[in-house]
Structures are given as structure tokens and as C-alpha cells.
């Protein structure tokens, strides 16, 4: 497994002795460092009412299931207020985000809200590297899963995150990357020809 929190990376304006200290939760992983099957588990985190309502206000989500205690208790399907799914998603990813300096978000797939999360629930996340592939001449694509659990291991959310990650050394990937780019360009040309033909 790639090391977490073990990489020093200087920033402009820092004294040299400060730049040599590893930055917490800011990994220096490259495409080559992501190994399918590697997993990390986050710390646990309890969701408070204040932050739940603040999130609802920030994103203008005032559905009665998340913001109206009386409705949720008397008419709601769960008998109490929920934490907004988008907030659970944000917290779950944030708990296991590694802030890798060489990877960039490409999108999310397979997001599922599996079980309800309530104010006062404690959650944690397990992140797993699922796979990777060559993308272009500078970077590959990595797919990781985020499984968010509450309590003693009840799965509440699942999502897959697609990221690009820079190559440490692009040379070993150059032939495959060039072939992928050529195939993509040929596909675009064929599509244009079909539109005009």
C-alpha cells in the first residue's frame, strides 16, 4: 500500500526546514502508486444537528425530511429527521479523501443511498482502489470506491470516484496512451463522417 502522510512537498514561500516536513493528508502519489485492492479506513465522525442544518441552508435543501422535526416524526417514513444524502456523501468522501497532489477528480459513478442516516449517527468510510487504466500521455485514470458505514458496520452509502493521476514516468505508458488517443481521434472522425454522409 502507498504510504499515507509521509511525503514532504515544498510550497513557495516556506523556509526549507518547514518544506521538508511531510504535509498531513497531502499524499504525493502518482499513477504507479495506486494498487488495485489497497484499502484505507477513516476515523469515525458523529453528525450534529447544527452542521446538518447549516448544510441544508447552504444548499437550499429544506425538504421536510431533513428540516422539519414535527413532519419527520409524525408523517415521515422513518419517524425522525434524516441527514441530507448529499451531506452524507460529502462527509463520507471527505473522511477518506487523501488530497493526493497528483490526482484530480474526473467524476463519480454508482452513487447509492442505501440506508437512512439520522442526526447523531456516527459514520466512517472505507476507500478501496478498484482499478486503473492508461488515459493519455500525461496521466492515467484510477477508480476508487467509497463505502460509508454507520454504527457498527451498517452500509449507508456507496459511490465510485474516477480520478486522473499523473504518471511519475510517462515513458512506460507512451505507446498505449498514443494508441488510445489515435483510436479516440479515429472514432471522432468516423462520427463526423457519418453526420455528413
Over residues 99-154, the pLDDT tens digits come to 788 999 999 999 999 999 999 999 999 999 999 999 999 999 999 999 999 999 99
144 within domain boundaries:
yes
Give pTM, 2 decimals: 0.87
Helix (H, G, I), strand (E, B) or coil at 113: strand
Mean pLDDT of 47-56: 97
195 within domain boundaries:
no
148 within domain boundaries:
yes
pLDDT for residue 195: 83
What angle, rounded to 10 degrees, do the helices at 49-59 and 85-96 form?
Answer: 110
* Residue range of the domain that includes 126: 35-188
Q: Is the dihedral of CA 6, 27, 142, 134 positive or negative?
A: negative
pLDDT for residue 5: 60
165 within domain boundaries:
yes
| Number of domains comprising the chain | 1
CATH number at residue 104: 3.10.129.10
102 within domain boundaries:
yes
70 within domain boundaries:
yes
| 21, three cell numbers | 516536513
94 within domain boundaries:
yes
9 within domain boundaries:
no
The torsion angles phi and psi of 150, rounded to 5 degrees, stand at -125, 160
Within 10 A of 192 (CB to CB), how many other CB atoms are there? 10
Amino acid at each position: 500500500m502507498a504510504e499515507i502522510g509521509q511525503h514532504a512537498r515544498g510550497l513557495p514561500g516556506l523556509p526549507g526546514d518547514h518544506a521538508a516536513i511531510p504535509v498531513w493528508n497531502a499524499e504525493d502519489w502518482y499513477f504507479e502508486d495506486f494498487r488495485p485492492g489497497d484499502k484505507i479506513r477513516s476515523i469515525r465522525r458523529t453528525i450534529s444537528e447544527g452542521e446538518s442544518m447549516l448544510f441544508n441552508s447552504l444548499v437550499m435543501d429544506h425538504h421536510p425530511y431533513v428540516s422539519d422535526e414535527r413532519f419527520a416524526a409524525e408523517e415521515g417514513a422513518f419517524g425522525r429527521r434524516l441527514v441530507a444524502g448529499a451531506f452524507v456523501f460529502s462527509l463520507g468522501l471527505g473522511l477518506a479523501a487523501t488530497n493526493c497532489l497528483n490526482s484530480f477528480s474526473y467524476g463519480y459513478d454508482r452513487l447509492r443511498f442505501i440506508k437512512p442516516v439520522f442526526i447523531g449517527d456516527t459514520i466512517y468510510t472505507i476507500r478501496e482502489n478498484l482499478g486503473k487504466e492508461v488515459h493519455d500521455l500525461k496521466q492515467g485514470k484510477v477508480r476508487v470506491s467509497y463505502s460509508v458505514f454507520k454504527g457498527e458496520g451498517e452500509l449507508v452509502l456507496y459511490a465510485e470516484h474516477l480520478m486522473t493521476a499523473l504518471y511519475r514516468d510517462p515513458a512506460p505508458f507512451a505507446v498505449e496512451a498514443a494508441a488510445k488517443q489515435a483510436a479516440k481521434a479515429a472514432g471522432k472522425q468516423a462520427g463526423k463522417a457519418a453526420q455528413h454522409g
